[in-house]
Homo-oligomer: A and B are copies of this chain.
């Protein structure tokens, strides 16, 4: 049908975030209020009021997009689960369980044994069990839903205030450098582990939840994810490049725009920063103060708007 086709190709292509905002938001918002959903679309995870709030998030990883073609199913599974769980870390939540939907064309036991190893390692590392899911035949994709409960405060994206200190949980770029190393040597070592078996900062998130005003995990890239925090909180950020820890084998620019790190960016009200720094030291948890929240709605790096290579945007 050429008429439809010609309409189709005239239709504008729109970016992933625009699509989510325009087409995948505000579906039944009024029902959410009635059903005691405290937080729906627009944060790292959703919150449903029960006696203890349940926190849930879904993330899909696609072969060749979110994980390298040809990596062991063990690592593909582990990475996909951590990617989803990292959203609970960014909410300061305690994980309870996970569900998985696996799409693959494989049907041999070698594939599934390795895949199971990844799930089991993940399950043991985070002490949560698989509580269901689905298996379908199709392109290799792993969709993971994670469930958690509120620990202390729930860390949303929207509560950063002007004057808050911008903090980072650890260096940027280790995921990307790990991937490069794996591409070169095709084996798991200390360097490539950062990519093959990344960490979701669950304990870290629970700990800072009592102090931070907002938080997000870095999945699409520091600048892009900080942009989400900026938009949700309606503030800007000024950062000093010299304060941002990053992998010394990569340029700062690469590290500001790469995904796969799963570090947390969070803001802390000025009055809480000293007590927090002391407690982090005692707990031996890393924390880097990299800048401040400002009224102007931009992200400024050393006073200038940095080049945004836009992190990962699939559309």
Contact = CB atoms under 8 A, between A and B. Distances in A.
Interface of A: 7-8, 11-14, 16, 19-20, 22-25, 27-32, 34-37, 39-41, 43, 45-46, 48, 50-52, 54, 56-62, 65-66, 96-97, 99-103, 107-113, 115-116, 119-120, 123-124, 127-139, 141, 143, 145, 147, 149, 314-315
Q: Tell me how many chains of this kind the complex includes.
A: 2
A14 B107 contact: yes
A97 B37 contact: yes
A143 B56 CA distance: 15
A37 B131 contact: yes
A24 B130 contact: yes
Secondary structure call for the A interface: mixed
23 contacts: A16-B135, A23-B115, A24-B102, A24-B133, A27-B123, A29-B129, A31-B127, A35-B96, A40-B97, A40-B130, A40-B131, A41-B133, A43-B132, A50-B51, A56-B131, A57-B99, A58-B99, A58-B134, A60-B143, A61-B136, A62-B103, A137-B314, A138-B141
